A and B are shown apart, each in its own frame.
Chain A
Amino acid sequence: MRFFPLELKTRWVKVLKDIWGNKKRSLLVVLSIAVGVAAVGMINTAKQVVERDLYGDFWAGNPASLTIYTSPFQKELAEAVQNLREVETAEARRTVAADIFRSEDHWEDIQLTVLPNFNAPKIDRFVLEEGSANPGGREILLERDTAHSMGLSVGDTVIIKMPDGRTYSLKIAGIVHNVYVIPFSLLNEATGFIRMETLQWMGEKPYYNQIALVVSENKYDRKHVLKVGETIRDRVIEPAGYQTYRIQIPGIGSDPGQHWAHNQIAGFLLILQIMGIMAIVLSGGLIINTVSAIVTQQIRQIGVLRAIGGVRSQLVTMYLVNVLLLSILALFIALPLGQLGALGIARLAASFLNFNLKLFTIPLDVLLLQVGLGLLMPLLAALYPILGGTRISVYEAIYQQGLHSEEKERLVDRLLYKLRNISPPILLSLRNTFRKKTRLAFTLVTLTLAGAMFISVFSTRASLTEQINQISRYVAFDAAIGLSGGVQRPTAIREALRIPGVSVAEGWANSSGVIVHYDGSESKALDIVGLPYNAQTIEPLMLKGRWLRSGDSQAVVVNDDLLETEKELDVGSQIQLKVGDSKRAFTIVGIASKHLSGPRVYMTLEDFGRLTGRQNQVDSIRVKISPSATSSARIQSELAAELEKRFDNAGLSKQKATTQSAIFADFSQPFNIILIVLIIMASILSVVGGLGLTGVMGLNVLERTREIGVLRAIGATNTSVVKVVVVEGIVVGLISWVLGAIVSVPSGWVLAWAVVEAVLQAQVNYRYSGWGLLLWLVLILLIGVFSSLAPARDAARLTVREVLEYE
């Protein structure tokens, strides 16, 4: 009593003492509030930090709106482009794909970029971290993520292997931070910058092959930017006698002027945002249940307070203040926890996306949101049980004696009373489950959400696997190697078949071209692939029409990606393809499913030869050991090494071979990170659901103390009492499982759609996860048993006298 000043009204003393006296339950309420509020704070703060720091870095360096790939040119062309009114800045670039030495027999891909003037780069400017930003001759600048991942620092020497197989040693002049390239740790492609003289020394001709540019207005308007690209092509590049290969907006499907992963980040943040909202909803449910527990337990006290003169508004205020105090406590946990979580996410994102975290300031608006949410949500949630609990008349509140059935009989009760041939102890559990229907509903909502979320995550995984399986149909080889400059088909195939064990070797030819429309306009650049009509390293999934067949002439199969931009095309459509200056007409005979390659056209090697003028030449060799299946990752990489060695020795290719499993590894990695985050979130939700169930079972046992005493008085042993309670927990779990299974069908689709859209920018092939459903069944049964076990033990511990002493 000394702790409370003399002036404090007794009702507030009671509120404080109730909070302190019920530490476990107060803590449960505090945690319920804190979890939701912290989640919201974490997600929103992380969002702001990522947007500020990543996009801040990004915009600071003048990001390119567009990149135009052309035939070799000198830098004067870029100056001509810059003179256009529509263009703000333009800069020439040269990129070369090469390899960089990592360890004995292990080389990594590296993209070498030549800038015209390292003293004043104009577009996609990088920031110097160490050394010099201006490399001298035989020197290289490395992107910092490349340098850190490979353990290189300024002054070290790196060995570069050019496509022709010759190696050169370059000294690292500086380490730079470039947010415009996909980091090495994500793409497994190193980034380096060298001078044109160095490139020349390395045996390449001194020319540029790309123009990066920033448009003057409407920088974020995709259509406008693409149109500017076409204007440049038609008014500057082609009149000057150069060819335009591709006009491309940088990034993975991002809009111009946006970070390359903008859509992915936005999609991921959206998913987290939805999770945050769910956490708040679950928090609210937990609060409703816990507060009704408090009110129910104190129902006699409420009666007494009213008997000695308290009116309802006084009681409502007392309980609301109780919740408010707990909310304030929760904020003390939730605010720092949210910021800490945000810092964690931001750090993860910063290392993942290679950007710098600036000073970590706490955003005021997010704090206000958290405080508002943290104070209002619990009050609103608590209002319902508080109003309900104080509505009861004084008489009922004080003189509850004997055993009562509390609620009106409903349909479910009538159905339950039709069950006759079940033993009474089980019937008792079953009917007890449905006794407090509102409470049951809240518990079910919590557990159903958790279950639906859990199954959805697994369905997303299953959908991604399905997506990968579908893609695998198009890369159904063990290993493949690119052939520089085209090689005679029989020579290449003969060489590949010499490898022991190889039973299938196919030569494919590739080119880039466009569709010429009737009005003379041209489509976006698309891949044109020539292959044997009976190719065994592709198992196309035909959405419509048929695959290529023997004797096909002027027939093509297109993929679904092409139809996204060329919507009017269908099976039977005539198209005119243009490669370089050569144009030919083709008929579409089939449409194959998407496979993340971008727009693509398949035709027989014969047609390909006629269209491109490259008869019987192939650009890559795809090999397989078994004709019917692909081999293990280990065998594939051994095969790839063998392929590299043989083709190098035969003077056919100095390129690196790839394998099917390496292709998958590249893009399943970001998925795995997202899936891990989602599974963690789903586990948190199921923990919250389990906590909720524990609370409810505890409350049920508390209310039925007298009944449990009666059970013991008529011969129930500890085990029988525990069984009655645990079976109830299991029944609740099973009902929520059924509901969760139903809800997870649409919710899984939404999640899978969001994730696939965010990461792959592709349509989802939704697969419902039966394993997820089963796993959740096991989990929910465990949750049901464990969350009712503690209350059941408490119930069994009650002696009959304690229970009946109020008689």
Chain B
Amino acid sequence: MNWLWDPNARWILGGCMLLGLSSGVLGSFAFLRKRSLLGDALAHAALPGVCLAFIITGSRSLGGFLVGAALAGLVGAACIQVITRYSRVKEDAALGLVLSVFFGFGIVLLTLIQQSQKASQAGLDKLVFGQAAAMVSGDVQTMAICAGVVCLATFALFKEFKLLCFDPGFARGLGYPTALLDGLLMLLIVLAVVVGLQAVGVVLMAAMLITPAAAARLWTDRLDHMVVFAGLFGALSGAIGTGLSTMTLRMPTGPLIVLAATSVFAASLVAAPRKGLIARWVRLIRLRRQVAREHALRSLYELAESRSNWTATISVADLAASRGNAESGLRRVLGELGHEGLIRVEGGSISLTESGLNAAYQVARNHRLWEMFLMHEGQLGADHVDRDADVIEHLLPRSIVEELERLLVVHGRHPELPPSVHPLRSV
């Protein structure tokens, strides 16, 4: 970690973290407005603005670039709005159009500047991919101001932006100046883009707006948490990317920051609670296990019912035949049920214990209630009912079942239930 003692490296680290922070925060709003790719378009559109600023001011100052990029970005955003509003070209094509034409024009200007051979043009072409190593303390201070403005504005207008993201129609109804807020949001995105130009360049700037926000979205359903997460992920990616590029020679910082952000995203995609792949996989396994268990219980109940003997011993082969699956597939679920004391397994035969019979009765009752309901209320063919019921009974909460039962009684369609458990005690 020796590199951290180098003041220059610390400036770069600070700059990249600021970039990650501000673009993560704003990316959340762009993400929720379903305008993630707008950041991409605005980043590309900033190039001609930066070049024009250079041509006019003749110097490479971040302040001038900022104004140029902001103006070009706003013109680009306005073009997208006008194209989608006044012609039948859709938003995707409008984004691609503005992005490529502005960038192409930027390249034209860039080559014109290079051709005029001003000594100070060095570094301008680095804007396309960024060059974090070229950052100096003055740049980082400007970036810090921009990041501060972005965070403050987000904090101050949090409620307004929130409404704009989730229900723009309602926001308009409440009298919020939605067009103005939208424009302000775009201006802030342009600010974040300008902050990123130095470090990651226009091409990969989109990643800084999109990826941390997309990762944060996987962790939470609350906007305030999401903004904080996205900011943290962005800053973390900036730190990791800068660290890696300083430690390994010749690796460009920008792409490494982007790849760090992608890694954070990939990790979130796998490990995030509830929305992560692992969490969903666990849920799926649990659901499958529950389904298998309830199927087995209901089959045992029905087999016992058909033999009019609630304590009958049923062979595993019979159970498997009634479910239509192999005996080997039943072994695990039978083991579980036996472990819970719901069934007794002796050799190849099974019998329900009293608590098992109770549980099996509940499952079978649920199933038949639903079956009846579908037949009478759902207007479904009777031959379709069982298949539907097999799936839905496991998802049916108790309160709804009770309500269903009540409704069926009211309509005089209460189904014939199998004998309750109580007479069994006397058997």
Instruction: Answer yes or no: do A and B interact.
Output: no
B residues in contact (CB < 8 Å) with A = none
A residues in contact (CB < 8 Å) with B = none
